[in-house]
Amino acid sequence: MTLTFHWFLPTSGDSRNIVGGGHGADVVHRDRRVTTRYLRQIVTAAEELGFVGALTPTGLWCDDAWLSTASLLDSTDRLKFLVAFRPGLLSPTLAAQMATTFQNQSGGRLLLNVVTGGEPTEQKAFGDFLSKDDRYARTDEFLTIVRKLWEHGEPFDYAGKHLRVEQARLVSVPDPTPPIYFGGSSAAAGPVAAAHSDVYLTWGEPPAAVAEKLAWIRKLAADAGRTVRFGIRLHVITRDTSEDAWREARRLLDALPPETIARVQEGLRRSESEGQKRMLALHEGRPEDLEIYPNLWAGVGLARGGAGTALVGSHREVADRIKEYADLGIEEFILSGYPHLEEAYWFGESVLPLLARDSLWQHPTTTLTTPPPAVPFAP
């Protein structure tokens, strides 16, 4: 198995400390402003290091993902952009057209992360007043229409409970069709993921919990006559020694005043997201006993909504944990760290080579099956 690695674009700001935000969390630590110049540094580094794509988040707490990534296309040659968007905030025909434009003008570098939306307060701010279960039902209709539009057949009509189009058709279709990434832990999310996702995403829980979730989606997909790939979203803190890595984790934790943790946790407890509830259960808002599995640290979730765990350890330890998740069936890893630029180098220059030696990874631009000679021009 050859694993795929993606990095993250901090369109809410970056810092040497944990940047909060998302899922009702207070925003903390935005020491590095969001600028195109800084984001260019990150995507250039990610491409050179061998990451396949870069995830861009969605929500009121960050910049728009479509515009941010489109502005970075000319800064890279190969890197793909995993654009997160919310189906309820634009029409399916417009979304299909936007994706087609992005895909064809970028040379096939679009990946789509469908985010149904789990926070009613934020959804209402966008003008969306549906319940959580209805949002997933609408997502099902939305993706059905989008897939049909990408087939480039005859104009068609569609009338669902939430969405309706008449004589819908695109002049051109995306080439290739962008894969759909989809996450969700609730009962309403599972069937939609099984029916539409190419890659099902989970946040970083202990391996046993991840295995249980993957088995759930595998069965739903099989019942729908489909197969899906699996990905995981994690942060990373990797250093030359385990002691150095855990020292950095403690530094990040020490930078969070107790009142900040309490305020963030109060906001996150109001979340409707089942995945967010699972993240909260890993640490219960307490800054103690945060290593919930060897090298899996729940400290990020004290200050940040969404993915709240990090792989922490020496480069070898982090590589071993990645292999453990890969053994469960995880093929794609979406990673990040603080700051995102520096941590990309820590991981890309230290962990990826170990995975290459384990025959689990290959640089996207490398076709060599054996390492090059240590001495230039040596036979």
pLDDT in tens, 42-74: 999 999 999 999 999 999 989 999 999 999 999
* Average confidence (pLDDT) over 191-208: 97
* Average confidence (pLDDT) over 162-167: 98
| Average pLDDT over all residues of the chain | 93
* pLDDT at res. 24: 62
Residue 312's alpha-carbon distances to 86, 243, 244, 299, 330, in angstroms, are 31, 10, 10, 10, 19
* pLDDT at res. 302: 95
The rounded percent of the chain whose pLDDT value lies above 90 is: 87
Strand extents, DSSP E, 154-283: 156-159, 164-168, 180-183, 199-203, 229-239
CB 216 within 8 A of CB 329: no
pLDDT tops 80 at residue 23: no
* pLDDT at res. 379: 39
Q: Name residues whose C-beta falls within 8 Å of residue 105's C-beta, 6 or more positions apart in sequence.
A: 73
* pLDDT at res. 21: 80
pLDDT tops 80 at residue 371: no
Mode of pairing for the β-strands spanning 296-297 and 291-293: antiparallel
Give the integer Cα–Cα distance in Å for 47 and 202: 24
* Average confidence (pLDDT) over 252-277: 91
* pLDDT at res. 22: 76
* Average confidence (pLDDT) over 191-198: 97
> Picking from 86-95, 98-107, 365-374, which range would have the lowest pLDDT averaged per residue?
365-374
Give the integer Cα–Cα distance in Å for 46 and 192: 31
* Average confidence (pLDDT) over 27-38: 87
pLDDT tops 70 at residue 377: no
Alpha helices in 269-331 (DSSP H): 274-283, 315-328
* pLDDT at res. 118: 67
For CA atoms 223, 225, 229, 234, the dihedral sign is negative
CB 164 within 8 A of CB 93: no
pLDDT tops 80 at residue 168: yes
SS3 category, 197: coil
pLDDT tops 90 at residue 131: yes
Q: What angle do CA 186, 80, 330 make, to 5 degrees?
A: 45
* pLDDT at res. 65: 97
pLDDT-derived band at 119, boundaries 50, 70, 90: confident
CB 199 within 8 A of CB 114: no
* pLDDT at res. 372: 46
pLDDT tops 70 at residue 26: no
Polymer length of the chain: 379
pLDDT-derived band at 368, boundaries 50, 70, 90: very low
* Average confidence (pLDDT) over 165-193: 96
> Picking from 242-246, 283-287, 373-377, which range would have the lowest pLDDT averaged per residue?
373-377
